[in-house]
Amino acid sequence: MIKKRAPVKKNLSIWLFFLPIILSLVGLFFVFEASSVRSFTEYNDSFHYLKLQGMWILVGISAMIFFSLFDYHKLYYISFFLMVGTILMLLLVLIPGIGYKAGGAQRWIDLGIINFQPTEFAKLSTILYLASWFIHRERKRFFSFLILLSVLMLLIMAQPDMGTAIIIFLLGILIYYLAGFELYFLLALVPLSAAAFYILVQISPYRFKRLLAFFNPSLDPLGITYHINQILISLSNGGIFGQGFGASRQKYMFLPEAHTDSIFAIIGEEGGFIGNVLLIGALVLLIYFLYRVSIMGSDRFGKLLAGGIFAFFSLQIMINLGAMVNLIPLTGVPLPFFSYGGSNLLVSFVLLGIAINIAKQSRA
């Protein structure tokens, strides 16, 4: 029986290894498509963002190979230190002179040659730490769990980064659920979440305007709703078969964040509805493979880790694509393997390397 099922593990590991590489290379092409004009305008080099993204892909693949060979059980012993390091980095990024500010948000630490985003590593450390923490079912950990989530979300919201704060919150809740704890404890979060949302809106009217823009994209077409309107224009320009590669008009500085959070719109403009369906199909396939790993885990730690990785990719993809078609408000969440950005790309490859290692050690 084991001999018959062994190829399943091997095939799953192969898919999880090669699929993200293929997706990242396709994403690299569209990063160039979406950024070439801006890159030339800012750096007098149309290939600036292409070269940086290409470098991060190589680093990411190397990290994926390392973690696919690294016994995931050993991650249990470093998860606490990784969480402490993440909290320290989230504090450091708020310090002027250390934290790098762009687009009204202070989310990056400038290392000179490159910048990295601590909030992306917060997603990684949240998955590893909570999976390690919830190996044993202890009800008394619920309030400690809430305190940890609150600290992470407050530090992230101080940057501000609402999208990542939402993902950290949902990751925590989903891993808590997967750990088998009673769901009625989570009901206490409903009024708390509503109160927190109200406070955030009060202290930052910009968030309320974004909510209004979601409900009425024509409210302020040259202001708060400009971004979503340009996204919808890109997607409508693409039609069924697209304008053709290189034929995007929106990349000529009309569409904000064209090579990062809004790259799906450029893909839709150039590849059309067909191109977007193929992209979504490939991402759904990736999520399906991660789901298979989550139910194949050989122990509780492996199952929780794989479940957290499955939740991470599912949330990132759903939130990004939902915002692109105006099903949810814009939150600035990148599309894995397609959006420009080294921190998210590296974390995505690391998590897939861990998933591959879990798949190789599974009983199925």
Does some domain include residue 3? no
Count of other CB atoms within 10 angstroms of residue 49: 23
Q: Which amino acid is at 350?
A: V
Nearest to 35 by CA among 262, 225, 230, 322: 262
pLDDT at 86: 92
Assigned token pair, 131: 């999976």
Question: What digits encode the pLDDT tens for the residues 191-245?
Answer: 777 777 767 666 666 667 777 777 777 777 777 788 888 898 899 988 898 888 8
Q: Which residue has better confidence, 61 or 220? A: 61
Determine the Cα–Cα distance for residues 267 and 46; give it in Å rounded to an integer: 18
In a domain, 2, yes or no: no
- What region does 272 belong to: left with phi over 0, alpha with psi -120 to 50, or beta? left
Helix/strand/coil percentages in the chain, nearest 5: 70, 5, 25
User: Rounded to the nearest 10 degrees, what angle do helices 118-133 and 300-324 cross at?
Assistant: 140
Give the whole-angstrom CA distance, residue 349 versus residue 338.
Answer: 13
The C-alpha atoms of residue 141 and residue 340 are separated, in whole angstroms, by: 38
- Given this model, what pLDDT does residue 182 score? 67
Read off the tokens for 147. Answer: 């305190």
Residue 184 per-residue DSSP state: G
Domain count of the fold of the chain: 1
Instruction: Report CA-CA distances (Å) from 125 to 149, 152, 343.
Output: 12, 11, 13
pLDDT at 81: 94
Residue 343 lies in a domain: yes
Q: Give domain status of residue 1, yes or no.
A: no
Instruction: Identify whether 259 is part of a domain.
Output: yes
Q: What's the pLDDT score for residue 2?
A: 43
Spatial CA neighbour of 254 closest among 13, 19, 34: 34
At residue 3, does pLDDT exceed 50?
A: no
Q: Within 13 Å of residue 319, how many CA atoms lie on the same side as its CB?
A: 23
What's the mean per-residue pLDDT of the chain? Answer: 85
Is 297 a domain residue? yes
Which pLDDT tens digit goes with each residue over 165-180?
889 989 998 998 888 7
**Residue 310 to residue 250: CA distance in whole angstroms:** 33
Which helix H or strand E contains 102, and what residues bound it?
strand 99-102
Kindly provide the b/e burial profile for residues 128-162, where b requires at least 16 CB atoms within 10 angstroms of the residue's own CB: bbbbbbbeeeeeebeeebbebbeebbebbbebbbb
With contact defined as beta carbons under 8 Å apart, do 123 and 309 qualify?
Answer: no
C-alpha–C-alpha distance, residues 152 and 301, integer Å? 22
In a domain, 328, yes or no: yes
Domain-located, residue 311: yes
For the four alpha carbons of 325, 329, 330 and 335, in that order, the dihedral sign comes to negative
Q: Judge whether 313 and 276 are in contact, CB under 8 Å.
A: no
Which helix (H) or strand (E) segment holds residue 116: the answer is strand 115-116
DSSP 333: P
Burial class (CB within 10 angstroms; exposed 0-12, middle 13-18, buried 19+) of 94: middle
Q: Please name the amino acid found at residue 309.
A: I
pLDDT value of residue 330: 81
Q: What's the confidence (pLDDT) of residue 1? A: 38
Separation of alpha carbons 8 and 232, rounded Å: 41
What domain range is 238 assigned to?
Answer: 12-360
What is the pTM assigned to this prediction? 0.91
* CA dist., res. 227 & res. 235, Å (int): 13
Angle between helices 162-178 and 300-324 in degrees, nearest 10: 140
Q: Report whether pLDDT(184) > 90.
A: no
**With bands split at pLDDT 50, 70 and 90, how would you rate the model's confidence at 185?**
low
Structure tokens at 27: 């994403």
Q: What angle do CA 140, 174, 228 make, to 5 degrees?
A: 135
